[in-house]
Chains A and B, each alone.
Chain A
Amino acid sequence: MIYLNNAATSWPKPACVAQAVCAAVAEPPGESSRGGLQRFDVFQAVRQALCPVLGVKEPEQIALGPNATWALNLALYGLDLKPGEWVLATAAEHNSVLRPLNDLAARLGVRVEFLPCGPEGRVPLAAWQEALLRLRPRLAVFTHASNVTGAAHDAAGFCRAAKAAGAAVLVDLSQTLGFLPVALEEWGADLAAFTGHKYLLGPQGTGGLWVRPGLSLRPHLVGGTGVRSELSYMPGEMPLRLEAGTGNEPGFAGLLAALAWAAEHPLDRAAVHASLCALRQGLRAAGARVIEPEGECTPVVSFTLPGLPAAELAYALYEGEGVVCRTGLHCAPRIFPCLGVKETVRFSLSRFTTAEEVLCAVRAVEAAKG
């Protein structure tokens, strides 16, 4: 099998990740006693390990939960948007942003504008600035990089422009954290959602939301916190305020192991980029129409083969050659009119993808043509 679906869930993981998950399941849970110095608190350790990766200082401002969708819902519903207020977003957003915004528009009368992308899947900074000044939105939300094309937005520029226009800014880091540099406090972001199971190399079921110090969200999910049980409502302090319910201790033990491993084994981004370039070139030579963003991007290649429907191509790749990839709309339907295609096949690499696997994937596409 050749696994090229890392933008969905990265695989393989460092061996220590599975070992940490197994060990956490085998050990008595730590949920029953919180705080103090004697007991190891995996959640706080994860928050601390995430601070340098996110470019933030206060671990308590990171609420941990099951995934980026949870985090994005927390942010979008937690800001308590009012009828008539504008939200600015891009056409590159994932359904985890599109669907909550559509729901807020339909139920509450929040107004939403999705800025069209260029053919690489990126909104130009000038268009973003123009829309911010035109709409004066309460919230600006953008994906750091498109999950369809890999094209990264100028996150620092997007945040600066949003703040200058008086908007709160939410960054979706699902596709980038662990692969591209992130500096939330330097950028001036207010909120950022991330997931552990993609380029952070952690297990599924781990993610979180960073909230700028001083910004208070209404909890979207309320319930038990294991502490302050006498309160009728969610506690005010972070991260408890946003973390209702029992946490995924084994999952976060795995993420902690992945973060420690990544700190010891820094990513060679140039090497992954070289593999990406080889893949793009090979696919082009095989006759594919390849979407090739210039500038900063994640190791994602979306392509089509003229005359062969994406579903048929993907079936041939998986059943015929054992290449695991993603096809269709990739949960980001608004970007496709901007790209000028109905659907794509997507290959996504990781730091573990070998040159031989890239070569085999290109040969598989050649063979799939029949």
Chain B
Amino acid sequence: MKFNCRKIENCFADSLTWEYALPQAGEEFLRALAGWEVRKNLKLRRPVFVAEKDGVVLKAALAGQFVRASFPEDEWQKKKEEFEAWLKAL
């Protein structure tokens, strides 16, 4: 899968979050998240989901093509590289 990504700046302590533009909607991307702990919120007008695995947290709108990925502070580079390698392989 091809993607673009850019760091997101926010006001949280030690934030290490990037936004990824994907060629598919969140709902379709969700099917690739086997093994992730997924929480969907369908009560929102535009439903979203949060997925977690090994300290990596993903957030996305089911109908959107942007995914936010937050990486754990102590090994963010390794986790980011692993996540991006996994994304490329999709």
Chain B residues lying within 8 Å of A320, measured Cβ to Cβ, are 41, 44-48, 61
B48 touches A319 (CB 8 A): yes
Interface residues on chain B, number (Cβ under 8 Å): 19
Determine whether B13 belongs to the interface, using a CB cutoff of 8 Å to chain A: yes
* Interface residues as binary, A321-335 with B (CB distance below 8 Å gives 1, 0 otherwise): 110001111110100
The one of B11, B46, B50, B64 in contact with A331, judged by C-beta atoms closer than 8 angstroms, is B11
- Determine whether A271 belongs to the interface, using a CB cutoff of 8 Å to chain B: no
Chain A residues with CB under 8 Å of B13's CB are 328-329, 333, 342-343
Distance of A210 from chain B, by nearest CB (Å):
28
CA A331 to CA B11, docked complex, whole Å:
7
Total contacts A-B at CB 8 Å: 62
From A322, A327, A333, A369, B10 is in contact (CB under 8 Å) with: A327
Contacts of B46 in A (CB 8 A): 319-322
Instruction: Decide if the interface of chain A is mainly helix, strand, loop or mixed.
Output: helix
State whether the Cβ of A315 lies closer than 8 Å to any Cβ in chain B.
Answer: yes
Return the chain B residue nearest A310 by Cβ.
B12
Most buried by B among A367, A368, A370: A370
Q: Which residues of B contact A326 (CB under 8 A)?
A: 11
> In the bound complex, how far is the Cα of B64 from the Cα of A342, in angstroms?
30
Interface majority SS on B: helix, strand, loop or mixed? loop
**Chain B residue at minimal CB-CB distance from A330:** B11
- Cα of A364 to Cα of B45 in the assembled complex, Å: 9
B10 touches A316 (CB 8 A): no
Distance in angstroms between the alpha carbons of A326 and B45 in the assembled complex: 20
A-contact 0/1 string along B30-57, CB 8 Å cutoff: 0000000001010111111010000000
Task: Determine if B11 and A316 form an interchain contact, defined as CB atoms under 8 angstroms apart.
Answer: no
**A315-B59, A315-B68, A319-B61 are contacts. A368–B12 as well, Cβ < 8 Å?**
no
A311 contact from B12, B41, B43, B48, Cβ within 8 A: B12
User: Smallest CB-CB separation from A366: which chain B residue?
Assistant: B43
Q: Which residues from B are CB-within-8-Å of A342? A: 13
B50 and A321: CB pair below 8 A? Answer: no
The reply to whether the CB of A312 lies closer than 8 angstroms to some CB of chain B is: yes
The list of the 9 closest CB pairs from A to B, nearest first, reads A320-B44, A328-B11, A328-B12, A370-B41, A367-B43, A319-B61, A315-B59, A367-B44, A320-B48
Q: Which residues of B contact A (CB under 8 A)?
A: 10-13, 15, 39, 41, 43-48, 50, 59, 61, 64, 68, 70
27 A-B residue pairings within 8 Å (CB atoms): A311-B70, A315-B50, A315-B59, A316-B41, A320-B46, A320-B47, A320-B48, A321-B44, A321-B46, A326-B11, A327-B10, A327-B11, A328-B11, A328-B12, A329-B11, A329-B13, A330-B11, A343-B12, A343-B13, A367-B43, A367-B44, A368-B41, A368-B43, A368-B44, A370-B39, A370-B41, A370-B43
